[in-house]
A and B are shown apart, each in its own frame.
Chain A
Amino acid sequence: MAQLSGLGNRLYSGETSFNIIGNRKRWYSISAVFVLISIGALAIQGLHLGIEFKGGSSYTVNKAGISVEEARAAVEETGIAGELIVQKIGDSKIRIQTGTLTSAESTAVENALVAKFSVAIEDIDTQIVGPSWGKEITKKALYGLIAFLLAVMLFLAMTFEPKMAIAAIVAVVHDVLITVGIYAVVGFDVTPATVIGFLTILGYSLYDTVIVFDKVRENTKSIAASGKSTYSDAANLAVNQTIVRSANTSIIALLPVGSILFVGAGLLGAGTLKDLSLALFIGLAVGTYSSIFIAPPFLAALREKEPAMIALAKRVAARGGAAPVAGEVRAVRPSTGRGPRNQPKRKGRK
């Protein structure tokens, strides 16, 4: 931990620097691969939707010593048609999921379970979802997503800069695509709780990005006047200065989410807590990555296209390009990348 503090300090002063903006093509390629895999998996495998989305019924019996086979046999005897999934959850629970049933069929299944395992009917946890319900909540989730993206874009454009808003949204879309892609690849169940998780990721990913952008804005405020560094250099320093902060906020955010995941998956076996925290856990990790490696480089690329910034880059290059970003400290670790000091040269050659 103490070493982390020390690293934070060296990153702040520019003594140690990871060249994140300059290597943007590398991060783009990595993300592009993941995004393509995600889209591919979504197109080919699709998502494994829970009964909340496709309609159906779920019955959970909680009694020690009951077996999946017994439960399946009991339910099959009622003669209901269609899909039947019987799973063991935790030590003593069996969950039976069926397709859409009529009230009469549903009652028949419950009675069969009551008779087979001699439990009270009140002790069977039941969830019945109508076939059109999924469409309704999917529609609402999509509306919510679109409204959120628009509102955030407007908000960021007003508090920061329009281009920061674009870069932030690109990062968020990236996060959601990859997170959903992981769900498609692994085949985790998607339930409404998962969707809550996805939507919350949006907020979180933006939170991280905002922290970085706030510093970028501060560092780039007067670069045109000073003419010492290009936009990319200043942005790169900002990213380096906030890396420790981003790492800390992400760890702090992951700790509670991790404990929900641990308790939800370990003690309850399945349900709201597990579904929600799994989506959050994956999304947070992806969100942290994008707030460092996707959003700032994308922003820098957008800004570097502005005539004023092109002119600035030329001016910096004309000064010899060796403008140290923070004081006259020499790079202690030249091996960690080319360092911000070398960037202007490369830009100048282009």
Chain B
Amino acid sequence: MSTPNKTVKSSGRPGRALAILALILVGLSATALLQGATSVRLGLDLRGGTSVTLQPRASNDANKVTSEAIDQAVSIIRQRVNSLGVAESEVTAQGSGTNRQIVISVPGDSGRRVVDLVGQTAELRFRQVLATAIGTAGTGTDAATPVAGVAADINAKFAALDCTNVANLQGTGADAPSETIVACDRTGASKFILAPAEVLGTQVSKAAAGIDTQAGNVWTVSLTFNGDGTKAFAALTNRVTSLASPQNQVAIVLDGLVVSAPSINEAIPSGNAQITGNFSQVEAQDLANVLKYGALPLAFDRGEVQQVSPTLGSDQLEAGLLAGALGMLLVFIFSVIYYRVLGFVTVASLLVAAGMLYLTFLVLGEAIGFTLTLAGIAGAIVAIGVTADSFIVYFERIRDEAREGRSLRSAVESGWVRARHTIIVADMISILAAVLLYFFAVGSVRGFAFTLGLTTLIDLLVVFIFTKPLMTLLAKIEFFSSGHPLSGLSAKSVGTKSPMTRAAATENVEG
């Protein structure tokens, strides 16, 4: 039971609470204005675009998944994506420590190119060709006699390798530079035994796409090596140029696949090389970009790729907003039917909460790059229920107190003291759920958790600085305190034997 003392104290400051609310709303609006935020930033699923989630591949060799490696990969991928020149594309790591995914979001319809671009590890190696054969399985043994200096198991692997199987054309990037390897070419037409790498992608200082007019206007990528690279490439070309075919070929290997394997006719000491490989213009430009920004320190699995057309995006946005409006309307109708005029307190509180949420979205969009996704909208709609629940808990408490014979003014205060506890505990659980969902989940789940948590916080705030002070003020109005049949607090709906006015009178006498 609350003491009368408490009652008096907490009812004395509704004006102050409402002033704080006004201050918060004005503050949020002013911040949004200063930031120049005019609309909520929408996620790709609402305006169309591509998002790619990359999962670091756990491997036990040199490419260990470390936090630094992920950070480095993020910055390299960011450079690659930026090279496309699409505005507002984003590259972020989600999760914590080494257990992170890299999420790339690109608005608009250049998604397919992004997908190909970002996933490449782009490990470039120059290796001498030791043997070659057409790409089907079983061709190695009879077509090429075991090559001198190549281990028997490599020869066996070479014979068994089937480059017509698409599984062998995935470009895993898992070739160890110091080993002799077998590899397919990109088209699957031929396969190779390749010597340990002598020049690495890290020794490339520049890469550019261009047209080779001499070779019939084909797109090529020209490379410039750094000092070490120049020396190593000169030594390699010098050594193989006198050898017989196919050992005078140098294979250019990207992510474990041979892009091209030109025959070397003379030593190349200039530090320049050119890759030709039937590239289209886009392919050549993308490859040059990839090589320019360097290889990723990790191999990645493509976790999820999602491409949403602008049409579907706007459909989903429309549906989300419609669902929100409909849900809100239904809650309004229910509140007003059940709680009569008191229901309008719910309506007003929900509108205040919605306004505050909208302003928060605006501010957060600029401040932390918050984007509203479909799952986020769903989270906000679900939170309408949680928010309205708080009001019901409070109203029912007021009725409970009235049933025990209190006046409305007193019931509003003592009911609050009790409802407050329930509301805080219940909202804490909702927030706990949201925070844990946010930290444990990936992708769309995070958007949902974020808005759910945010709206629950706003709910707490609104109940404390709007609904409760409003009730205190309303309790002073004759319409409610007399228990008018439409007030939602009439003797009939509350069920007190005596009208509340009488109870109030009794209490006044006592006081």
Which residues of A come within 8 Å of B, CB atoms? Answer: 1-2, 4-6, 8-10, 12-13, 52, 60, 62, 102-105, 121-130, 132-133, 136-137, 140-141, 143-144, 147-148, 151-152, 155, 159-160, 192-193, 195-196, 199-200, 202-204, 206-207, 210-211, 214, 218, 241, 244-245, 248-249, 251-260, 262-264, 267-268, 271-273, 276-277, 280
Contact = CB atoms under 8 A, between A and B. Distances in A.
Contact of A248 (B109, B116, B338, B429): B338
Nearest to A160: B425
B201 interface: no
Residue picked from A13, A102, A126, most chain B C-beta under 10 Å: A126
A252 B334 contact: yes
A230 to B, nearest CB: 22
- Interface pairs A-B: 8 shortest CB-CB: A9-B495, A256-B327, A144-B440, A253-B385, A203-B433, A122-B109, A259-B326, A263-B323
Given A60-B312, A124-B309, A203-B433, A259 B375 contact: no
A210 B433 CA distance: 14
Nearest to B328: A256
Given A155-B432, A253-B389, A268-B316, A123 B311 contact: yes
A245 B303 contact: no
Nearest to B166: A102
A110 B393 CA distance: 53
A199 B433 CA distance: 8
A39 to B, nearest CB: 25
B246 interface: no
Given A196-B375, A248-B338, A263 B306 contact: no
A267 B322 contact: yes
A122 B403 contact: no
A273 B432 contact: no
A193 B445 CA distance: 7
Contacts of A210: 422, 425-426, 429
B436 to A, nearest CB: 5
Contacts of B384: 256
A258 B382 contact: no
Contacts of A123: 309, 311
Given A1-B338, A253-B385, A260-B382, 10 more contacts: A130-B304, A137-B443, A144-B437, A152-B432, A200-B433, A244-B396, A252-B392, A253-B389, A256-B330, A273-B374
Interface in B442-495: 442-445, 448, 452, 492-495
Interface in B324-378: 324, 326-328, 330-331, 334-335, 337-338, 374-375, 378
A1 B337 contact: yes
Contact of B330 (A9, A60, A258, A264): A258
B386 A263 contact: no
A225 to B, nearest CB: 15
Nearest to A140: B440
B55 interface: yes
A215 to B, nearest CB: 8
A130 B316 contact: no
12 contacts: A12-B400, A60-B312, A122-B109, A126-B307, A128-B304, A129-B305, A132-B303, A136-B442, A152-B432, A207-B429, A253-B389, A262-B323
B334 A255 contact: yes
A254 B330 CA distance: 10
B112 A202 contact: no
A271 B323 contact: no
B71 interface: no
Contact of A62 (B312, B335, B382, B389): B312
B440 A62 contact: no
Q: Which applies to chain B's interface (DSSP): helix, strand, loop or mixed?
A: helix
Contacts of B495: 5-6, 8-10, 12-13
Interface size class of B (residues with CB under 8 A): 35 or more
Given A128-B305, A136-B303, A248-B392, A155 B429 contact: yes
B320 interface: yes
A245 B423 CA distance: 13
Nearest to B496: A9
A273 B422 contact: no
B285 to A, nearest CB: 19
B157 interface: no
Given A125-B312, A137-B442, A151-B436, A256 B381 contact: yes
B170 interface: yes
B118 interface: no
Contacts of A104: 166, 169
B243 interface: no
Given A121-B112, A133-B304, A207-B386, A192 B426 contact: no
Contact of B55 (A125, A136, A143, A214): A136
Contacts of A192: 443-445
A144 B322 contact: no
A196 B53 CA distance: 18
A245 B388 CA distance: 12
A153 B206 CA distance: 58
A259 B327 contact: yes
Given A255-B334, A255-B385, A130 B308 contact: no
A169 to B, nearest CB: 12
A194 to B, nearest CB: 11
Nearest to B433: A203
Contacts of A124: 307, 309
A196 B448 contact: yes
A259 B324 CA distance: 8
A141 B440 contact: yes
A268 B437 contact: no
A4 B326 contact: no
Contacts of B430: 203, 207
A141 B439 CA distance: 10
A255 B330 contact: yes
A2 B488 CA distance: 10
A203 B392 contact: no
A304 B324 CA distance: 45
B78 interface: no
B44 to A, nearest CB: 11
Contacts of A130: 55, 301-304
Contacts of A276: 375, 378, 448
A2 B319 CA distance: 34
A140 B309 CA distance: 29
Contact of A245 (B319, B385, B396): B396
B494 A5 contact: yes
Nearest to A90: B315
B319 A147 contact: no
Contacts of A52: 304
B388 A151 contact: no
B421 interface: yes
Contact of A147 (B306, B440, B452): B440
B231 interface: no
Contacts of B326: 259, 262-263
B493 A5 contact: yes
Contacts of A127: 304-307
Contact of B308 (A6, A125, A200, A259): A125
Residue picked from B307, B320, B378, most chain A C-beta under 10 Å: B378
B47 interface: no
Contacts of B445: 192, 195-196, 199
B125 interface: no
Given A207-B429, A255-B385, A214 B422 contact: yes
A260 B308 CA distance: 20
